[in-house]
Structure 1
Amino acid sequence: MNIATTPKDTLFENGTAKLYRFRQPEGVERKEGLPILLVPSMINRWYVLDLRPGASLAKALVEAGHDTWCLDWGIPNDEDRYLTWDDVIARLGRMVRRVKRETGAPQVGLLGYCMGGTLTAIYSALEPENVATLVSLTAPIDFSEGGLLATLVDERWFDPEALTEPGNLTPNQMQDGFVSLRPTGQISKWVLLADRMHKPGFTDSFFALEEWVGDNIPFPGAAYRTYIGELYQQNLLHKGEHYVRGERVDLGRIDCPLLTITADRDNICPPKAATALNEHVSSTESEHLSVPGGHVGAVVGSKGPRILYPAIADWFGEKLAV
Structure 2
Amino acid sequence: MSPARPQAARPTARPTPRLGPRPLALHLGLSLATRWAARMPPPCTPASPSWNGAWPRSNAGRREAARIADALAAAGHPPEAFAAAVERRLLARDLALAEGILAYRRHPFRRDLADPPMAWAEGGSRLLDYGGAVGPALLVVPSLINRAAVLDLLPEASMLRHLAGQGLRVLLLDWGMPGPAERCFTLTDYVAGRLRRAIAAATRIAGQPPVLVGYCMGGMLALAAAQRLPGALRGLALLATPWDFWAGDAARAQSLAATLPLWEPAMQATGALPVDVLQALFAALDPAAIGEKFRAFRDLDPESPQARRFVALEDWLNDGVPLAAPVAREALGSWYGGNAPLRGAWRIAGAPVTPRSIRLPCFVAIPARDRIVPPSSALALADRLPAALVHHAAAGHVGMVAGSAADVVLWRPLLTWIKALPA
TM-score by length of 2: 0.69
2:416 maps to what in 1?
A: 314
Structure 2 CA distance for aligned equivalents of residues 241 and 182 of structure 1: 28
Bigger CA radius of gyration: 2
Structure 1 CA distance for aligned equivalents of residues 305 and 326 of structure 2: 41
- Is 1:12 aligned to 2:120, yes or no? yes
- The alpha-carbon deviation at position 92 of structure 1 amounts to 0.8
Residue identity (%): 28
Aligned 1:77-92 pairs, distance under 5 A:
77-78=179-180, 80-89=182-191, 90-92=193-195
Contact 2:211 2:235 in 1 (8 A): yes
Structure 1: tracts of 5 or more residues without a match: 25-29
1:165 maps to what in 2?
A: 268
Instruction: Give deviations 1:153-200, integer Å, cap 9, x for gaps.
Output: 244x54487363332101111112122333333333232122222673
1:27 maps to what in 2?
A: none
1:39 maps to what in 2?
A: 141
Structure 2: tracts of 5 or more residues without a match: 1-108
Instruction: Give deviations 1:237-282, integer Å, cap 9, x for gaps.
Output: 2222222112232222211111111111111101111122222223
Structure 2 CA distance for aligned equivalents of residues 216 and 173 of structure 1: 11
- Is 1:97 aligned to 2:194, yes or no? no
* Alpha-carbon RMSD: 2.2
Contact 1:6 1:22 in 2 (8 A): no
Contact 1:126 1:250 in 2 (8 A): no
- The alpha-carbon deviation at position 204 of structure 1 amounts to 1.1
Structure 2 CA distance for aligned equivalents of residues 6 and 146 of structure 1: 40
In the superposition, relative to structure 1, how do residues 258 and 6 fare at CA in structure 2: closer, same or farther (>3 Å)?
A: farther
In the superposition, relative to structure 1, how do residues 111 and 126 fare at CA in structure 2: closer, same or farther (>3 Å)?
A: same
Q: Which amino acid aligns with 2:194?
A: R
Q: Which amino acid aligns with 1:20?
A: L
Deviates further, 63-72 or 219-228: 219-228
- Is 1:203 aligned to 2:307, yes or no? yes
Aligned 1:253-292 pairs, distance under 5 A:
253-283=357-387, 286-292=388-394
In the superposition, relative to structure 1, how do residues 188 and 282 fare at CA in structure 2: closer, same or farther (>3 Å)?
A: closer
1:233 maps to what in 2?
A: 337
In the superposition, relative to structure 1, how do residues 182 and 19 fare at CA in structure 2: closer, same or farther (>3 Å)?
A: same
> Secondary structure in 2 aligned to 1:265?
coil
Contact 1:4 1:50 in 2 (8 A): no
In the superposition, relative to structure 1, how do residues 79 and 37 fare at CA in structure 2: closer, same or farther (>3 Å)?
A: closer
2:350 maps to what in 1?
A: 246
Structure 2 CA distance for aligned equivalents of residues 147 and 110 of structure 1: 30
TM-score by length of 1: 0.89
> Secondary structure in 2 aligned to 1:280?
coil
Structure 2 CA distance for aligned equivalents of residues 146 and 64 of structure 1: 38
Q: Which amino acid aligns with 2:272?
A: N
Q: Which has the higher contact order (CA 8 A, sep 6+)?
A: 1
Contact 1:171 1:216 in 2 (8 A): yes
